[in-house]
Amino acid sequence: MNADTLNRQLQKMLPQGRVTVTRPGGCPAIALHLFDPMVLEGPLSHDEAQAVVAEPAYWSFCWASGQVLAQYLLDHPTLVSGKRVIDFGTGSGIVAIAAAMAGASEVIACDLDPAALAAAGANARLNNVIIALCDDWYRRPGKFDVVTAADVLYDAENLPFLDQFARAAPQVLLADSRVKHIPDGRYRRQTLIEARTWPDLNEFEEFNRVTIYRAG
């Protein structure tokens, strides 16, 4: 997959949309194909706004939690070095890419969205690393040493994944800016770091404060 393919995916949401290569402020070591805000000459029309809500291209933004967890892996490579890692809800693939750059023996980027997997693959090639792709968590290939996940608890219905992550690997690294307390005693708070979605969506300041949790 290349930028043209990603543009076609993005244009399903926003006809004038396109990606550009950029480096998120919270993890500048990684380059990504992300939404180019320069295409917006003014506020979105009603129809455009409705299209964005109906079919959001989550992969075309690098959310604060993903940046923070990716940088955390780069700063603490021993967490994943030599280990088999699966990144749940990979989106742009930034966390999976960081795990590969930090020396993981194998990285699987997992996401239900085919466009996200296409983006993750393109972004991995952009950074000269190899990751594998998986479109179904329940059909993940084999056993893992580490599960990573960033910004996946935005919906309360996703909370059961906390138990699934902890059962799937001896170590889980989780980053989230929306849940202030994780209702699972296995997850221990490691640090709090500030970052902003890239490109910036001007979210509430509380969503710019990311907590990293570790289980195992």
Domains of the chain: 64-215 (3.40.50.150)
pLDDT band at 34 (very low <50, low <70, confident <90, very high): very high
Nearest to 149 by CA among 162, 167, 133: 162
Mean pLDDT of 183-209: 87
DSSP 8-class letter at 207: G
Between 208 and 105, where is the model more confident?
A: 105
Sign of the alpha-carbon torsion through 133, 54, 35, 11: positive
Single pTM value for the model: 0.92
pLDDT band at 46 (very low <50, low <70, confident <90, very high): low
* Cβ atoms < 10 Å from Cβ of 8: 13
Q: Give the whole-angstrom CA distance, residue 132 versus residue 148.
A: 15
pLDDT, tens digit, for every residue of 8-30? 888 887 777 889 999 999 999 99
Mean pLDDT of all residues belonging to the chain: 90
pLDDT band at 200 (very low <50, low <70, confident <90, very high): confident
pLDDT band at 132 (very low <50, low <70, confident <90, very high): very high
Q: Can you give the pLDDT at residue 75?
A: 98
Strand 132-134 versus strand 106-110 pairing type: parallel
Q: Give the whole-angstrom CA distance, residue 211 versus residue 195.
A: 11
Mean pLDDT of 38-55: 64
Between 91 and 39, where is the model more confident?
A: 91
Burial-class residue 71 by CB neighbours within 10 Å (0-12, 13-18, 19+). Answer: buried
